[in-house]
C-alpha cells in the first residue's frame, strides 16, 4: 500500500471532521493576524477542502 493510499484510507469517513478542523485553523490564523491575510487564508482553506474531497473519493451510489 502506497503513501497516497494510506492517506485516502485515513480520510475516508472523516471528511466532515477534517473540514471542520481546516475551518478552525483558518479562523485562528485570522484572529491572530486581525484578518490581514483573510483572502489568502480563505483560498488555502478551499484548496485543502478540495484536496480532502478528492482523497475521500467519489460518493458511493445509494443501495437499492
CA distance 41 to 29: 8
Q: Please report, for the chain, the start and end positions of each structural domain, with discontinuous segments joined by +.
A: 3-55
Tell me the pTM. 0.77
pLDDT digits (tens, 9 = 90+) for 19-57: 999 999 999 999 999 999 999 999 999 999 999 988 887
- The grid cell for 23 is 475551518
- The grid cell for 42 is 480563505
Amino acid at each position: 500500500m502506497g503513501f497516497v493510499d494510506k492517506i485516502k484510507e485515513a480520510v475516508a469517513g472523516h471528511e466532515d471532521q477534517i473540514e471542520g478542523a481546516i475551518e478552525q485553523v483558518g479562523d485562528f490564523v485570522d484572529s491572530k493576524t486581525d484578518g490581514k491575510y483573510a483572502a489568502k487564508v480563505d483560498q488555502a482553506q478551499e484548496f485543502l477542502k478540495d484536496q480532502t474531497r478528492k482523497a475521500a473519493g467519489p460518493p458511493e451510489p445509494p443501495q437499492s
